[in-house]
Amino acid sequence: MAGLCQGSNEFPDSLQVIRKGVELFGDHPPANRWITHHKDLTCSEWRDALKMAGNVAAVRAIPGKTMDNNRCSYCGSEIETLPHVLGSCPHGEALRNTRYHEVRSAIAQALRNTGFTVFEEVHGLSTTGSTRTKDMIAFQDHRRDFIIDPTLRFETCKSQPQDVH
Ligand SMILES: [Zn+2]
């Protein structure tokens, strides 16, 4: 999949938004195996996933998609980009929350399958007395303890995981 990234700089500046989703394809081939082995997806799901990964899904921010304006057609509060639709538009909040809980539970189950004890949605008090919630606390024989708060984001660049810290 690295080939998809290699020619991407040939896009003119006005179309650079299109290449954002493919920048990370070559970094972790097992996670991107669905691109060539799509047996778990219908043809329609696979086609839509490719469009979203390549950032060419039909949103108003893509050049040529709309003649009047590029504001979100549901909430109008922001430019209708794929990250807005998937990550912050109030119209999809229920679906986004459901997806988040499914991903958190899948990570918790994967950790349990490797011998970790995992607690989800752990509530506690900080040293200042305010309440805090951690998505997961995982430990294994008191050797390795982790506090895990997964965040689902639209991948925009290779440095994104480091940029949030
Ligand atoms: Zn919106």
Compare 52 and 137 and report the one with higher pLDDT: 137
Mean pLDDT score of the chain: 81
Q: Is residue 12 scored above 90 in pLDDT?
A: no
What is the amino acid identity at position 66? T
Average pLDDT on 142-155 reads: 79
Report residue 137 CA to chain centroid gap.
Answer: 21
Q: Output the six-digit token pair for 77.
A: 């509060």
For Cα atoms 84, 133, 115, give the angle at the middle one, nearest 5 degrees: 100
Number of Cβ within 10 Å of residue 25's Cβ equals 19
- In the reported structure, the alpha carbon of residue 73 is separated from the centroid of ligand 1 by a whole-number distance in angstroms of 7
- Tokens 């970094």 map to which residue? 27
Q: pLDDT tens, 49-79?
A: 888 887 788 888 877 777 788 999 999 999 9
- Residue pair 108/120 in contact by the 8 Å Cβ criterion: yes
Q: From the CA of 27, how far away is ligand 1's center (Å)? A: 31
- Cα 88 to ligand 1 centre (Å): 7
Q: How many CB atoms lie within 10 A of CB 113?
A: 8
Contact assessment for residue 1 and residue 29, using Cβ atoms and an 8 Å cutoff: yes
Q: Is the pTM of this model over 0.75?
A: no
Hunting for tokens 């050797």 — which residue is that? 143
* CA 122–ligand 1 middle distance (angstroms): 31
Residue 152: which H helix or E strand, with range? none
Distance 157 CA to ligand 1 centre (A): 22
| Whole-number percent of the chain with pLDDT over 90 | 36
Per-residue pLDDT reduced to its tens digit, 77-104: 999 988 899 889 999 999 999 999 999 9
Specify the range with the lowest mean pLDDT, choosing from 2-16, 27-41, 83-97, 98-112: 2-16
- Arithmetic mean of pLDDT, 144-157: 79
Q: How far is the CA of 79 from the centre of ligand 1 (A)?
A: 8
Place of tokens 């896009």: 11
